[in-house]
Amino acid sequence: RSKEAGKDRWSFFTTDMKADSDAEARVEADLYRAVERDELFLVYQPQVNIRSGEVTGVEALLRWQHPLRGALSPAEFLPVVEKSRLAPVVGAIVLDKALAAARIWSDRGLDFGRVAVNLSPQHLKAGTFLADVLNAIDKHDVSPDRITVEVLESIFLNDASCRKIEVLEDLHRRGVHIELDDFGTGYASLSHLADLPIDGLKIDRSFTAQLLADSKAQVVVNSIIHLARALDIGIVCEGIETDAQVARLRMMGDFSVQGYLIARPAPFEIFSAWLERRTEARRSAAV
Ligand code: C2E
Ligand code: MG
Ligand code: MG
Ligand code: MG
């Protein structure tokens, strides 16, 4: 009897896994077509200084305009990208589009601070990331100091040869900012932080969400802010959704914030219009 139950569970499990891999295989096949047909696009979300309101950065976030399923977010296809051979291809597309956007904002005299792209671990591993960044810089004539690369803490693990860190050090020396994304959720050893080519920390939005309800989250956010100050690096606090969160954070320091309260990620034209209004408002406030 228990054997029967065990068998059932096993067959259920394998059917489920097969369905999973079938679905993934379909997404992967779709993705190759998506790249050919230019269905991948970026949406943009600003990062602003919490006190001055100055736009300090713009994060480029990947979307896929699927012909049948509509606009898909990274959670729906990025895991497949990372497992496939497409990661470096998609990474290069992101760099190309993000820097093309930065070029246009510069030409229009819009203050965007830096354009931030998310690094795919597989792109870095493939060994083409540095060349792809330099290519995009060249092609779009964007200064390296107008670019941020957001990396996950886990990048720095399992890198015995330190080759991945060398690439980031190289970019950092050229003026590209390197920021640790989702900071506080990974395993970054604090003692290593000072040795890494890091220009900023992004406080994970899970802390922001708990900021008003949980005093422990406040302690963590405060500690990260003090740590960044001691290391002389920047802070971006993610996932700002309410005025109360902004008010609380303002008491804690002077840094940048990003979240739905300021602006939701938006396609190029919509974001550019937001940036234009913002630039105008700041200019007229200055005179
Ligand atoms: P991330 O880099 O931490 O990006 C921030 C995510 O938080 C984005 O989700 C953004 O839309 C969302 N977000 C921003 N403000 C708020 C807020 O106030 N509340 C809430 N609840 N969420 C907010 P998205 O666009 O779905 O991206 C998810 C993740 O996918 C990103 O997390 C990043 O790790 C990855 N990703 C996105 N674009 C790319 C890309 O071009 N390349 C790679 N390798 N990864 C990417
Ligand atoms: Mg990010
Ligand atoms: Mg993040
Ligand atoms: Mg994230």
The CB of 73 under 6 Å from ligand 1? The reply is yes
Q: What is the best residue among 40, 42, 61 to mutate for testing ligand 1's pocket, by most ligand atoms within 8 Å of CB?
A: 61
DSSP per-residue letters across the chain: -HHHHHHHHHHHHHHHHHHHHHHHHHHHHHHHHHHHTT-EEEEEEEEEETTT--EEEEEEEEEEEETTTEEEPHHHHHHHHHHSTTHHHHHHHHHHHHHHHHHHHHHTT----EEEEEPPHHHHHHT-HHHHHHHHHHHHT--GGGEEEEEEGGGGSS-TT-HHHHHHHHHHHTT-EEEEEEETSS---HHHHTTS---EEEE-HHHHHHTTT-HHHHHHHHHHHHHHHHHT-EEEE-----HHHHHHHHHH-S-EE-STTT---EEHHHHHHHHHHHHHHHHHHH-
Is the shortest distance between the CB of 62 and ligand 1 below 6 Å? yes
Taking the centre of ligand 1 as the mean of its atom positions, its distance from the CA of residue 61, in whole angstroms, is 6
As a whole number of angstroms, the distance between CA 245 and CA 209 comes to 8
Residue-wise pLDDT for 65-98, tens only, equals 999 999 999 999 999 999 999 999 999 999 999 9
88 lines ligand 1 (CB under 6 A): no
d(CA 183, CA 188): 8
Residue with CA nearest ligand 1 atom 21: 239
Atom of ligand 1 nearest to the CA of 261: 18
Low-confidence residues of the chain, pLDDT below 70? 1-19, 158-161, 187-189, 287
pLDDT reported for residue 132: 98
Return d(Cα 183, Cα 234) in angstroms, integer: 12
Residue 241, token pair as written in the block: 């959704």
Please give the backbone phi and psi of residue 196, each rounded to the nearest 5 degrees, phi first.
-85, 155
- In short, whether 179's Cβ falls inside 6 Å of ligand 1 is no
- Please report which ligand is nearest the Cα atom of 74: 1
Task: Please tell me the predicted confidence (pLDDT) of residue 230.
Answer: 93
With a 6 A CB cut-off, is 272 part of the ligand 1 pocket? no
Distance (Å, rounded) from C-alpha 181 to C-alpha 163? Answer: 20
Ligand 1 touching residue 172 (CB < 6 A): no
Closest ligand 1 atom to residue 241 Cα is 18
Per-residue pLDDT at 25:
84
pTM (2 d.p.)? 0.92
Pairing of strands 70-72, 55-66: antiparallel
User: CB 27: neighbour CB atoms within 10 A?
Assistant: 21
Q: What is the pLDDT of residue 287?
A: 65
Query: From the alpha carbon of 87, which atom of ligand 1 is closest?
Result: 44
Structure tokens at 114: 């830096």
Question: ipTM of this predicted complex?
Answer: 0.98
Residue located nearest, by CA, to atom 45 of ligand 1: 118
Is 150 close to ligand 1, i.e. is its CB under 6 Å away?
A: yes
From CA 22, how far away is CA 24, in angstroms rounded? 5
> Is residue 209 within 6 Å of ligand 1 at its C-beta?
no
The pLDDT score that the predictor gives to residue 130 is: 98
